[in-house]
Chain A
């Protein structure tokens, strides 16, 4: 009897150790990637690197300012399209959860999430770049906006669904019209959830290369006109890492470092906002 209980005890121990082991293992790739990129990239990083344009092959130095500005603009325009759009769709899905339309839209959103980003790039090339006749930052933003939609819609829907129905009823029982109840009561309550979903989706698309290859295309100079081709950090990395020159490889490492730091920063901001603006009900 005693022996049997002891065996159970060891099995228990073994099982616990196993889950802890795998949990810790899952962080190893991230830590290795961070370590390697910091090691390779940190030596390239300095103020000049951040504020200069890339130099031609053979010249020392050179920076990534065109990519930084480009990523900023392309992602900003993409967010301006995707966040209001996605939040409204998420609102509909949470408000009319037993609707047929909701079912089909929810399904489409799931499928949209699974569409490879390169395919989106090609589609936007056909729909926007070809008809307008030239590559443009705007077309890149549209491609990224489509990628951002599913996570924004899902996080909005999930956040709003958690809000107790009686709060909505309290507002309606005061004679407040439906649209005002949504705008003044429900959306403010879901604000932190919608925001954190949006920031996460930004950090996800900020590093996308494939949808920009055929749309924003890249640009060796600083460009702020969204109707013209524009560079971005991932495009820079893609072009420089694929080249044969040692200096360009260094540029690519430095740019990777900056990009990863940006994404890390956004993720941390999201966590802080989630905690700070959490609404108790």
Chain B
């Protein structure tokens, strides 16, 4: 396996007394797309939210175990630093409705009180929108509200917003589940472009999406990591019975 950027060691996650993730052990390689799949309630989204520590926001939620970003313990890192290094794109597009497209893209800087010159801002915005392949569609409307865009465009705006912070890893929580097929395709193509510069972890309900886009796939079931392997191997020759049942559509 390539250089790993994220090391998860014996991670347990709880909501109150309920354990939703047990003893997750996995290494995530750099510049790859890792798909997390499994039936609803299997803990894949919780796992994703542990990585940037959004999980702890829920009252009563806590975690045990360690996650290392390269060699730094994420629970010892400053939250602001951690979340700048690990970006996130959500299930439903959620641009800030009070802000224009431009302000949305640069919001990670303005809201964190990082001062940039006008030209620096313009550079970051253009660069991020280009990487999110949204630039051509919005370059003449940068100062319109982001919420006027279509769902797929809004989602790419949210991707640009994450990219602007120059993260190492981007987490995608079912980013295409609220989009139409054409918009979904665009996002998938985008993911393939992005992996040259970023490590991508994507939660998906869609088996084809996992098979098409990802390099590695992790299969979660009932809070446990059942199987984790190269996508090609996992789909063509799964080692575990549950994985085989799931990908052949026998449950889930």
Q: Give residues of chain A (210-224) contacting chain B, Cβ–Cβ below 8 Å.
A: none
Is A174 in contact with B108, judged by CB distance below 8 angstroms? yes
A180 — which chain B residues lie within 8 A by C-beta?
A: 111-113
Q: How far is the CA of A98 from the CA of B16 in the complex (A)?
A: 14
* Minimum Cβ distance to chain A for residue B159 (Å): 12
Is A175 in contact with B94, judged by CB distance below 8 angstroms? no
Interface string of B86-98 (1 = CB under 8 A from A): 0110111011111
A167 at the interface (CB under 8 A from B): yes
Q: How far is the CA of A281 from the CA of B151 in the complex (A)?
A: 11
Is A175 in contact with B92, judged by CB distance below 8 angstroms? no
Q: Give residues of chain A (144-179) contacting chain B, Cβ–Cβ below 8 Å.
A: 164, 166-167, 169-177
> How would you classify the secondary structure of chain A's contact residues: helix, strand, loop or mixed?
helix
A273 at the interface (CB under 8 A from B): no
Is B96 in contact with A175, judged by CB distance below 8 angstroms? no
Is A175 in contact with B59, judged by CB distance below 8 angstroms? no
B80 — which chain A residues lie within 8 A by C-beta?
A: 175-177
Is A176 in contact with B111, judged by CB distance below 8 angstroms? yes
Among the 9-residue stretches A48-56, A183-191, A257-265, the one with 4 or more Cβ atoms under 8 Å from chain B is A183-191
Known: A167-B94, A170-B90, A279-B98. A175 touches B147 (CB 8 A): no
Is B59 in contact with A98, judged by CB distance below 8 angstroms? yes
> Count of chain A residues with Cβ under 8 Å from any Cβ of B?
22
B81 — which chain A residues lie within 8 A by C-beta?
A: 175
B59 — which chain A residues lie within 8 A by C-beta?
A: 98
Is B147 in contact with A174, judged by CB distance below 8 angstroms? no
B165 at the interface (CB under 8 A from A): yes
Is A281 in contact with B97, judged by CB distance below 8 angstroms? yes
Q: How far is the CA of A173 from the CA of B96 in the complex (A)?
A: 13
A23 at the interface (CB under 8 A from B): no
B112 — which chain A residues lie within 8 A by C-beta?
A: 174-176, 180
A46 at the interface (CB under 8 A from B): no
Q: How far is the CA of A166 from the CA of B92 in the complex (A)?
A: 8
Partner of A170, one of B79, B94, B98, B147: B94
Q: How far is the CA of A184 from the CA of B106 in the complex (A)?
A: 14
Q: Which of A171, A172, A175, A281 has the most C-beta atoms of chain B within 10 angstroms of its own C-beta?
A: A175
Partner of A185, one of B96, B145, B147, B162: B96
* Minimum Cβ distance to chain A for residue B47 (Å): 15
* Minimum Cβ distance to chain B for residue A266 (Å): 25
B83 — which chain A residues lie within 8 A by C-beta?
A: 172-175
B128 at the interface (CB under 8 A from A): no
* Minimum Cβ distance to chain B for residue A254 (Å): 44
Is A166 in contact with B97, judged by CB distance below 8 angstroms? no
Is A189 in contact with B98, judged by CB distance below 8 angstroms? yes
A280 at the interface (CB under 8 A from B): yes
Known: A173-B52, A176-B111. A166 touches B96 (CB 8 A): no
B107 at the interface (CB under 8 A from A): yes
A185 — which chain B residues lie within 8 A by C-beta?
A: 96, 98, 111
Q: How far is the CA of A172 from the CA of B49 in the complex (A)?
A: 12
B1 at the interface (CB under 8 A from A): no
Partner of B90, one of A166, A176, A184: A166
B205 at the interface (CB under 8 A from A): no
Is A169 in contact with B57, judged by CB distance below 8 angstroms? yes
Is A175 in contact with B84, judged by CB distance below 8 angstroms? yes
Q: How far is the CA of A102 from the CA of B117 in the complex (A)?
A: 43
Q: How far is the CA of A173 from the CA of B159 in the complex (A)?
A: 12
Is A167 in contact with B97, judged by CB distance below 8 angstroms? yes
Q: Give residues of chain B (104-163) contacting chain A, Cβ–Cβ below 8 Å.
A: 107-108, 111-113, 145, 147, 158, 161-162
B84 — which chain A residues lie within 8 A by C-beta?
A: 174-175
B239 at the interface (CB under 8 A from A): no
B90 — which chain A residues lie within 8 A by C-beta?
A: 166, 169-170, 173
Q: How far is the CA of A172 from the CA of B59 in the complex (A)?
A: 15
Is A175 in contact with B97, judged by CB distance below 8 angstroms? no
A181 — which chain B residues lie within 8 A by C-beta?
A: 111
* Minimum Cβ distance to chain B for residue A22 (Å): 38
* Minimum Cβ distance to chain B for residue A98 (Å): 7
B88 — which chain A residues lie within 8 A by C-beta?
A: 169-170, 173
Known: A166-B90, A169-B57. A175 touches B107 (CB 8 A): no
Partner of B96, one of A171, A172, A177: A171
B82 at the interface (CB under 8 A from A): yes
* 9 further contact pairs, Cβ within 8 A, besides A166-B91, A174-B108, A174-B112: A164-B94, A170-B96, A171-B111, A172-B54, A174-B84, A176-B111, A180-B111, A180-B112, A280-B147
Residues of B within 8 A of A (CB): 52, 54, 57, 59, 79-84, 87-88, 90-92, 94-98, 107-108, 111-113, 145, 147, 158, 161-162, 165
18 contacts between A and B (CB under 8 A): A98-B59, A166-B92, A170-B90, A171-B96, A171-B111, A172-B54, A173-B54, A174-B87, A174-B162, A175-B82, A175-B108, A175-B112, A176-B80, A176-B112, A180-B113, A184-B111, A188-B98, A281-B147
